[in-house]
């Protein structure tokens, strides 16, 4: 089977009725990049940068980060690379960085909230990303955005970093594209406003499911309630993609659901631009995409939207996918 799949690594990911999908990789290390390139990845839709900050005793310097970002950008030889700024906190801790003990770490001091508080830390990363952007199609993505103000504050620091680089005569992309993760219900509900502020959305279904259903994604005792096919989640996805389309911006998906073969008709029906997933999922998803009509997915989606339960959603998807097999 893997031999058969290898054969489609260089085939264009397009449905029989002409919908082309960007199939990209999520990476959190340099090793994963090689697997992605072997699968004919469109680009990197999510570069998780936490590993640079973890398993060490101090913050990574600008130069260290720049070296890593630049080498990934160069290895991608022109393919898009979305670098997500630090998403620490919640389940991810740093030994050398005093994070307060919190009752609810997932709702606490984390991700963009830390970056907008510790602006030196944030600007160091922004400068490193900007410098690497001179060597590839690099874009910036902010995690855990809940408001327009947060985007504007982050962008103000980005502009500051650009001004510094200009003054220092250091090359970078002054028109670097900026996007945000849509992973909080608040972001979904103001997606129309956020679309005016950024160049792209990437839907983080892992956190979006967790926060929509108020189900801790790390808690085994309630894992049966963590249901990506909940009708509430479907409505969140629809609202987000429609807001992106109306705003004329690129929209992708980078949570686990992007690489879940059962969900593919949903993305085709919504007409998302990009699916970013673990590198191992790219070829299986592409194989299915090559034989699945967008038109049929759209008809299915109308039926999904009137399902009253997760079970009903999953049953319809199951029946539809059986036909595609
Ligand atoms: C997500 O929340 O869906 C996501 C892609 O980010 P992470 O899993 O790193 O929180
Ligand atoms: Mg997330």
Q: How confident is the chain (325 residues) per 10-residue block, as mean pLDDT?
A: 85 98 95 93 97 92 98 97 94 81 91 97 98 98 98 98 98 98 98 98 98 95 97 98 98 98 98 97 97 98 98 98 84
Query: What pLDDT shows up at residue 115?
Result: 97
The preferred substitution site among 46, 89, 183 for testing ligand 1, maximizing ligand atoms within 8 Å of CB, is: 183
Query: What pLDDT shows up at residue 323?
Result: 85
State the Cα–Cα distance between residues 107 and 14, nearest whole angstrom: 39
Ligand 1: residues with CB < 6 A are: 46, 48, 87, 183, 204-207, 254-255
Q: How many contiguous H segments (helices) and E segments (strands) does the chain have?
A: 14, 8
With vertex at residue 83, the alpha carbon angle to CA 69 and CA 136, rounded to the nearest 5 degrees, is 55
State the Cα–Cα distance between residues 110 and 89, nearest whole angstrom: 4
The preferred substitution site among 29, 181, 182 for testing ligand 1, maximizing ligand atoms within 8 Å of CB, is: 181
Ligand 1 center to residue 141 CA distance, Å?
12
State the Cα–Cα distance between residues 56 and 77, nearest whole angstrom: 30
Ligand 1 center to residue 295 CA distance, Å?
29
CA dihedral defined by 148, 150, 155, 156, rounded to 10 degrees?
A: 110
DSSP state of 218: T
Going by alpha carbons, the residue nearest to atom 9 of ligand 1 is 48
Going by alpha carbons, the residue nearest to atom 4 of ligand 1 is 204
DSSP state of 307: -
Structure tokens at 301: 């989606």
Ligand 2 center to residue 8 CA distance, Å?
30
Query: What pLDDT shows up at residue 1?
Result: 56
Buried-state track 204-228, b at ≥16 Cβ within 10 A, e below 16: bbbbbbbbbbebbbeeeeeeeebbb
Does ipTM surpass 0.90 in this model? yes
DSSP state of 14: B
Query: What pLDDT shows up at residue 233?
Result: 98
Query: What pLDDT shows up at residue 70?
Result: 98
């Amino acid at each position: 089977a893997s031999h058969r799949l290898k054969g489609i690594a260089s085939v264009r990911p397009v449905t029989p009725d002409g919908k082309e999908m960007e199939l990209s990789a999520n990476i959190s290390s340099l090793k994963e990049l090689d697997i992605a390139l072997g699968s004919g990845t469109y680009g990197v839709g999510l570069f998780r940068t936490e590993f640079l900050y973890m398993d060490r005793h101090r913050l990574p310097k600008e130069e260290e980060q720049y070296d890593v970002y630049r080498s990934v950008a160069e290895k991608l030889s022109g393919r898009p690379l979305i670098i997500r700024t630090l998403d620490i906190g919640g389940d991810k801790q740093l030994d050398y960085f005093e994070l307060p003990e919190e009752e609810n770490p997932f709702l606490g001091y984390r991700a963009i909230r830390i970056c907008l508080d510790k602006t030196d830390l944030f600007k160091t990363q922004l400068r490193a990303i900007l410098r690497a952007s001179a060597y590839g199609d690099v874009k910036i993505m902010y995690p855990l955005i809940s408001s327009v103000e947060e985007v504007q504050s982050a962008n103000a620091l980005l502009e500051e970093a650009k001004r510094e680089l200009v003054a220092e005569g250091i090359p970078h992309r002054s028109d670097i594209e900026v996007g945000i993760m849509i992973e909080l219900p608040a972001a979904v509900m103001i997606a129309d406003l956020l679309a005016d502020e950024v160049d792209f959305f990437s839907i983080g279904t892992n956190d979006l499911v967790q926060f929509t259903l108020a189900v801790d994604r790390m808690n085994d005792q309630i894992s049966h309630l963590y249901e990506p096919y909940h009708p509430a989640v479907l409505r969140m996805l629809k609202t987000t993609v429609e807001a992106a389309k109306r705003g004329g911006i690129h929209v992708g998906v980078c949570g686990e659901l992007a690489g879940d073969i059962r969900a593919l008709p949903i993305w085709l029906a919504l007409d998302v631009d990009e699916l970013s997933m673990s590198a191992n999922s790219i070829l299986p998803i592409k194989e299915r995409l090559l034989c699945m009509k967008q038109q049929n997915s759209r008809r299915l989606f109308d039926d999904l939207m009137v399902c009253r339960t997760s079970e009903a959603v999953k049953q319809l998807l199951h029946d539809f996918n059986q036909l595609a097999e």
